[in-house]
């Protein structure tokens, strides 16, 4: 375990960098084999993008890493240590928002894994939450009930709770699906800053392939519970492979140096991808 460099962005500096390794992770739900032997390694400070069609197993993999679904195989941090509650923070695709709780109280839940058996938050815990709300431009919502927010605000509040946890591994399940373009890039830029300043590792299921390519160091393409490609975005996003996995003809373009994945023009689809 190594301590990350002092942050430049004013975040509390208690995050320790960790590598994460999954070996032969297997998850079944009744008859459904959601994950069928996933091997994965994420280095400290790395951003891994998880891509793949609906039902491929992206959310299940994130939930298995967070210890929220029973699995075979192993998930370990540096030196084969099993993750504790303080190690991994998950921003779920569909958060459960408690009635009658304010934004600040909800973000404070992120501190729960750090609290002792009396479960009383300290002044330091409240300071961490205030700093996270500020970073996410959410101070003005601090006293608002969490159930009285727009979809995009809710997504940022869910992220605030995860950041308040100060875990070295941040798991994001389609974190920007409810955000407009401006907020999407602002939130992803912030996560990228945290990664660079604090050395946290990011594993993010990402819907938009171009955005995934822009932010992730590496992409893992999941199909039917298996990783079918893992590497630099430009190598993983091959038109033929994507067309097969997403079962529709797709083309990969470069626009202003960025990767853009688009459906093949309809007139050419009759001849196949
Ligand atoms: P993705 O996030 O890639 O869209 P998921 O990981 O949510 O996919 O789902 C993978 C597979 O596991 C799907 O077939 C889904 O229907 C199934 N699945 C996920 N969660 C459950 C559950 N709690 N009970 C039963 N089946 C589930
Ligand atoms: Mg999902």
Spans of all domains in the chain = 1-87+167-237, 97-166, 238-273
Q: pTM, whole model, 2 decimals?
A: 0.89
- Please report the pLDDT score of residue 115 as a whole number: 77
- Please report the pLDDT score of residue 45 as a whole number: 92
- Please report the pLDDT score of residue 117 as a whole number: 64
Largest CA distance in the chain: 66
Asked whether the beta carbons of 96 and 161 are under 8 A apart, the reply is no
Bridge partners for 36 per DSSP: 26
Distance CA 249, CA 204 (A): 25
Of the bound ligands, which one is closest to the alpha carbon of residue 54?
A: 1
Q: Ligand 1: does its nearest atom lie under 6 Å from the Cβ of 56? A: yes
- Please report the pLDDT score of residue 100 as a whole number: 92
Least reliable range by pLDDT among 39-43, 101-105, 123-127, 233-237: 123-127
Q: Residue 205 Cα, ligand 2 centroid: separation in angstroms?
A: 7
Q: Ligand 1: does its nearest atom lie under 6 Å from the Cβ of 55? A: yes
Higher pLDDT, 183 or 207: 207
**Which token pair is 176?**
């920007």
**Which token pair is 17?**
């960098």
Distance CA 141, CA 150 (A): 11
- State how beta strands 169-173 and 47-51 pair: unpaired
Distance CA 78, CA 41 (A): 11
* Residues 6 or more apart in contact with residue 92 via CB below 8 angstroms: 59, 158, 173
- Please report the pLDDT score of residue 236 as a whole number: 98
Residues with CB in 5 Å of ion ligand 2 = 58-59
Distances (CA, A) of 69 to 2, 27, 191, 227: 28, 8, 25, 19
On whether the 1-87+167-237 domain is CATH 3.40.50.150, my answer is no
- Please report the pLDDT score of residue 232 as a whole number: 97
- Please report the pLDDT score of residue 16 as a whole number: 64
Which candidate, 250, 245, 207, places its Cα nearest to that of 226?
245
- Please report the pLDDT score of residue 67 as a whole number: 94
Q: Residue 60 Cα, ligand 1 centroid: separation in angstroms?
A: 6
- Please report the pLDDT score of residue 118 as a whole number: 67
Q: Indicate the average pLDDT of the chain.
A: 88
Least reliable range by pLDDT among 24-33, 43-52, 117-126, 164-173: 117-126
């Amino acid at each position: 375990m190594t301590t990350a460099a002092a942050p430049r962005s004013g975040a509390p500096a208690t995050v320790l960098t960790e590598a994460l390794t999954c070996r032969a992770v297997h998850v079944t739900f009744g008859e459904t084999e959601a994950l069928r032997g996933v091997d994965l390694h994420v280095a400290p400070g790395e951003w891994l993008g998880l891509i793949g069609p609906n039902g491929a197993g992206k959310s299940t993999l994130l939930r298995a890493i967070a210890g929220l679904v029973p699995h075979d195989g192993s998930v370990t941090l540096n030196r084969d240590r099993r993750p504790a509650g303080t190690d991994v923070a998950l921003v779920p695709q569909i958060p459960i928002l408690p009635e009658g709780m304010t934004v600040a109280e909800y973000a404070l839940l992120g501190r729960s894994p750090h609290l002792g058996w009396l479960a009383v938050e300290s002044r330091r815990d409240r300071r961490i939450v205030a700093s996270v709300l500020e970073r996410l431009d959410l101070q003005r919502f601090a006293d608002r009930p969490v159930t009285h927010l727009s979809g995009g605000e809710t997504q940022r509040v869910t992220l605030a709770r995860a950041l308040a946890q100060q875990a070295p591994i941040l798991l994001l399940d389609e974190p920007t699906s409810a955000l407009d373009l401006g907020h999407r890039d602002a939130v992803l830029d912030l996560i990228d800053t945290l990664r660079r300043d604090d050395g946290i590792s990011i594993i993010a299921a990402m819907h938009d392939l171009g955005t995934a390519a822009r932010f992730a160091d590496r992409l893992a393409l999941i199909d039917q519970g298996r990783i079918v490609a893992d590497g630099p975005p430009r190598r993983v996003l091959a038109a033929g492979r994507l067309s097969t996995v997403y079962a529709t003809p797709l083309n990969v373009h470069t626009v202003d140096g960025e990767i853009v994945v688009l459906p093949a023009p309809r007139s050419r689809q009759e001849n196949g991808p």
